[in-house]
Amino acid sequence: MIFTVSSSKHQELIDITDKVNKILSESGVKEGICNIFTLHATAAIVINENYDPNIGLDFLDAINKAIPERANYRHDRIDGNAASHIKAAILSPSETIPVKQGRLVLGTWQSLMLVELDGPRSDRKVNVEIIRK
Amino acid sequence: MIFTVSSSKHQELIDITDKVNKILSESGVKEGICNIFTLHATAAIVINENYDPNIGLDFLDAINKAIPERANYRHDRIDGNAASHIKAAILSPSETIPVKQGRLVLGTWQSLMLVELDGPRSDRKVNVEIIRK
Amino acid sequence: MIFTVSSSKHQELIDITDKVNKILSESGVKEGICNIFTLHATAAIVINENYDPNIGLDFLDAINKAIPERANYRHDRIDGNAASHIKAAILSPSETIPVKQGRLVLGTWQSLMLVELDGPRSDRKVNVEIIRK
């Protein structure tokens, strides 16, 4: 099952917890694991707090300091998004989460988020694969 | 199956390999995969060498240099742990490991560890989900 | 199923997408998930673009700037590869990828790669575990 996410900024965290829980609920699977995988080399999937959305902004600032957007990257001669690729490779395109009672098992402060690293884009694809226990 | 880990420092790596192997052994599953997931937004799960525990200290020093504990983070105005959240999001709350003969398939130098990033805490929850092949 | 990869440099990204797809094809599994796990504490598995191999070189430069190869690490007194361990722990030894029609579900620009962080080595082991849906 693949769904699509739109981003409106160059970099942005987009909460997809509810979308994935809806797909889980429709699947009828009550217990197992759920793999959430984005099909792009300049986006990623992370889990963290979204109750204070400033955490997402702090997160982007911090990774941009650790991995600068511009640093004479070789790939920037072809396509100006080397830093987006590097950050996506470090963060990884997927998370695998336990499932109980037909829902993602997440802590109180955990949300599932797509990290847009080279937006805005209208067509970020996310695959949800559910494995029954 | 959820178990609890206590930490005694602000930042610390805690080896949970034996705990997870015991849960695996009790499950009776011989072959498949095992997802280890911590239910917190300021802790993470990593795999690395623990034979020389200095590697864990070097690891914490290095991530604290790459992502400083203090950097005028917005979230620090509310709760002084923005850096803990950022590091947890980068490291990710889980690992998925193959299972053979009822045990985690790990290399000689690989241990499974909880990374405490905002301790000390007495109640770090870790979910273990085992999927039979 | 374990296969072996040889590296020829100290640090290097090695594309293993075709090897894993061949193992998947031979398994006969058409739908599910595939866990690719390297059994080492100084190597990692990542997913990113390999059409322009300069991205791999930019990636290595960027992580070497964020996590320097030398920084008075404690573990370097015993074995000169603390930085390799630290990078491996951050990048993680595995990826879990959806499977459809007997192949890895990857985006157009996504390749599966072993990251050698302490080479050259002739014997990097990669375990492939396939779980049927």
Which residues of A are less than 8 Å from C107 in CB distance? 38-41, 125
- Provide mean pLDDT across the span A55-66: 98
pLDDT of the residue at B36 = 98
Considering only CB atoms, B33 lies closest to which of C82, C90, C131, namely C131
A96 touches chain B (CB under 8 A): yes
pLDDT of the residue at C115 = 98
Residue in B with minimal Cα distance to C125: B107
User: Do the Cβ atoms of A11 and A119 come closer than 8 Å?
Assistant: yes
Which residues of chain C fall below pLDDT 50? Answer: none
**Test the A interface: residue of C54, C90, C100 with most A CBs within 10 Å:** C54
pLDDT band for position A1 (50/70/90)?
very high
In angstroms, rounded to a whole number, what is the distance separating the alpha carbons of residues C19 and C17? 6
> Residue type at A17?
T
pLDDT of the residue at C74 = 97
In this prediction the pTM is 0.98
Phi, psi of C25 (to 5 degrees): -60, -40
B77: Cβ–Cβ under 8 A, 6 or more apart, which residues?
A: none
In angstroms, rounded to a whole number, what is the distance separating the alpha carbons of residues B122 and A75? 46
User: Do the Cβ atoms of A98 and A33 come closer than 8 Å?
Assistant: yes
Please state the domain count of chain B: 1
Percent of chain A with pLDDT over 90: 100
C5 touches chain A (CB under 8 A): no
- Provide mean pLDDT across the span A8-12: 98
pLDDT of the residue at C102 = 97
| Min distance B109 CA to chain A CA atoms (Å) | 22
pLDDT of the residue at A93 = 98
Residue A93: cis peptide before it, omega within 30 degrees of 0 = no
A93 touches chain C (CB under 8 A): yes
pLDDT of the residue at A117 = 98
Q: What is the pLDDT of residues B10-55, one digit of tens each?
A: 999 999 999 999 999 999 999 999 999 999 999 999 999 999 999 9
pLDDT of the residue at B114 = 98
pLDDT of the residue at B129 = 98
pLDDT of the residue at B103 = 98
Q: Which residue has the tokens 């990374």?
A: B115
pLDDT of the residue at A71 = 97
Q: What is the dihedral of CA C60, C65, C67, C71, to 10 degrees?
A: 130
A131 touches chain B (CB under 8 A): yes
CATH code, B56: 2.60.120.460
pLDDT of the residue at B45 = 98
CA proximity to C3, closest of C36, C47, C33, C32: C36
Residue in C with minimal Cα distance to A74: C54
- Provide mean pLDDT across the span A98-127: 98
Length of chain A (residues): 133
Domain that holds residue C88: 2-69+78-132
User: Do the Cβ atoms of C132 and C31 come closer than 8 Å?
Assistant: yes
- Provide mean pLDDT across the span B95-99: 98
Considering only CB atoms, A85 lies closest to which of C49, C61, C98, namely C49
| Min distance B50 CA to chain C CA atoms (Å) | 10
Helices C82-91/B54-66 angle, 10° precision = 70
pLDDT band for position A60 (50/70/90)?
very high
C89-105 burial code (b ≥16 CB/10 A, e <16)? bbbbbbbbbbbeebbbb
pLDDT of the residue at A83 = 98
User: Do the Cβ atoms of B82 and B42 come closer than 8 Å?
Assistant: no
